[in-house]
Structure 1
């Protein structure tokens, strides 16, 4: 496939931001990635202008990995990323795109479709919205129970061969599915929730990923804001914010979880860091093959997250963090029951 003129200009990333490599076949990216979902969807209203300048600030700080999904705001997030990348060098940025979630015009969730035809159709629309000739990592958002993962990965492999996709990723799948997928085509990374409050990947999924040479892009590193240090139990959530239905944000669960955050705050204060910075640094400490995704929608939150790059936790501090927030200590599942049932990673 011939490559058209690059649409985003000539700006290059800041050279001092540390990098990590996603697995044995994945790209070298910035040590932190920017998760862009909340700029368009699911966390209530967002300021589009502030979102764009936040992407600019991330790029200027050396962040190269931008994570999106074609269903975030029903295409809005991809259009926003295109706008934010005007005047930038396309090849200095890695765009990771999830697909497969089906939505109605009212925003309702209609299931998943990761069939080969749907996979290729979704990419065609993604490329048009992003106004680029390729995406760097393409992944189904969830395992489609009606479609063998081999068929989905095989379809993306054909897109790789044609030059429309650089690498294949997966999201929220279990160890056996990882192995089946990797037998069809190399997988660069598994995108999955991983934080002090969500550690279920440690038993089987993370070891399998490492066995297969697959990196991890960790989302939810602040547990949807619970671990940000800014959450208040009196906060009112608009109906468009899915955290209003998330078990961890309900009643006694929230009270319990905020007690864990307060214990973490004592460690952060002693370290001269924020709660969010310690929480992100903990995820980063789990291995050089893990890239935390931070979901900052504003420049101040982005700056705080980037400050985690200067936080190094020694053995004693890591032990203190895990004593404050032990594995399995969170109250409530990370999604409501119906959404948990969609996660191959939790079966």
Structure 2
């Protein structure tokens, strides 16, 4: 499969999301295993790596900077601001903070540059739109970073088509990132078309349905065995009622992948890739074997009817449960598909 483009950058058809190397999905790998995975991805041809100040509260950026810094010219580096971690001071509890103020954006960028061991970030996203701050002000601060030579291009994450258009009027937006997969179709409501109207690349995170489409959780017992801090425990689709409805779909999906001669993860990624050559999925993994399996999807040539059947089997109408719990739904600005 030919390389894809994210603004001025040439990208491998599949990039690597670096969140779960230290954040959100249970026990992270050892530093040695995380380093091995990043270098393996580079050696296997991945040229787009995506991290954020939030991930591991700086740990992901530090890891990427330490391991991939010596190879900086071989890949496009993406990170994010606007959502960080507050340590707490005895009166304020520690936790995640959404802050899109120009001051916060500038400060977060300085910290990211240090951790990433680089002079410039290729693609810098606003991780979440802070709805207390006009999007024009946040994008203006990002544009200032471009003019200062600290950021080459800017992006947005989890915003609606209307917000994208407002932002793009202030400064060209290179990429929009949001969740997109067989079982999360929100971008199809309006954002994908808005991206195409404006010439904005679309970066799809969680293209494997947070493991569901990779057959990583084949039973309710597997879901119950997730560590307490795994973010899926708070997601409705992985709750007892909804997962019971979604599990039969997985059996049919697994059979379809076997019929096509590929793994469930490869079928999921092939479907996303087939939705447009302006889309770059960024699955995450902690396993070199899973990474190799994922990347094999970019050479797959699956029949159109197989992809159509996958889309008809798993979609908005057949999947039970919302992708986020109530807090997560309040934090994003995307067009919503009712559960």
When normalised by structure 2's length, the TM-score is 0.93
> Given the superposition, is the C-alpha separation of residues 102 and 230 from structure 1 closer, same or farther in structure 2, using an over 3 Å criterion?
closer
Q: How does 1:110-121 map to 2 (within 5 A)?
A: 110-121=96-107
Gaps of 5+ in 2: none
Among 213, 217, 221, the alignment partner of 1:234 is 221
1:263 corresponding residue in structure 2: 252
Q: Secondary structure at the residue paired with 1:192?
A: strand
Decide whether the 8 Å contact of 1:101 with 1:109 is kept in 2. Answer: no
Q: Secondary structure at the residue paired with 1:136?
A: strand
Decide whether the 8 Å contact of 1:197 with 1:328 is kept in 2. Answer: no
1:120-176, Cα deviation, whole Å (9 max, x unpaired): 110000001111001011111111111111111111111111111010100000010
Decide whether the 8 Å contact of 1:263 with 1:325 is kept in 2. Answer: no
Q: Secondary structure at the residue paired with 1:111?
A: strand
1:62 corresponding residue in structure 2: 45
Decide whether the 8 Å contact of 2:160 with 2:335 is kept in 1. Answer: yes
Mapped to 2, the partners of 1:124 and 1:67 lie a distance apart of 17
Mapped to 2, the partners of 1:250 and 1:346 lie a distance apart of 23
Between Structure 1 and Structure 2, which shows a larger proportion of helix residues? 2
2:68 corresponding residue in structure 1: 85
1:109 positional shift: 3.1
When normalised by structure 1's length, the TM-score is 0.91
Decide whether the 8 Å contact of 2:54 with 2:83 is kept in 1. Answer: yes
2:59 corresponding residue in structure 1: 76
Q: Which segments of structure 1 move beyond 6 Å, counting only runs of 4 or more?
A: none
1:194 corresponding residue in structure 2: 180
Mapped to 2, the partners of 1:246 and 1:310 lie a distance apart of 32
Q: Secondary structure at the residue paired with 1:190?
A: strand
Mapped to 1, the partners of 2:329 and 2:318 lie a distance apart of 18
Gaps of 5+ in 1: 1-16
2:303 corresponding residue in structure 1: 314
RMSD of aligned alpha carbons: 1.5
Q: Which moved more, 1:248-257 or 1:176-185?
A: 248-257
Count of equivalent residues: 328
Among 87, 90, 99, the alignment partner of 1:105 is 87
1:19 corresponding residue in structure 2: 3
Among 243, 258, 271, the alignment partner of 1:282 is 271
Among 19, 22, 40, the alignment partner of 1:37 is 19
Q: Which moved more, 1:112-121 or 1:325-334?
A: 325-334
1:339 corresponding residue in structure 2: 328
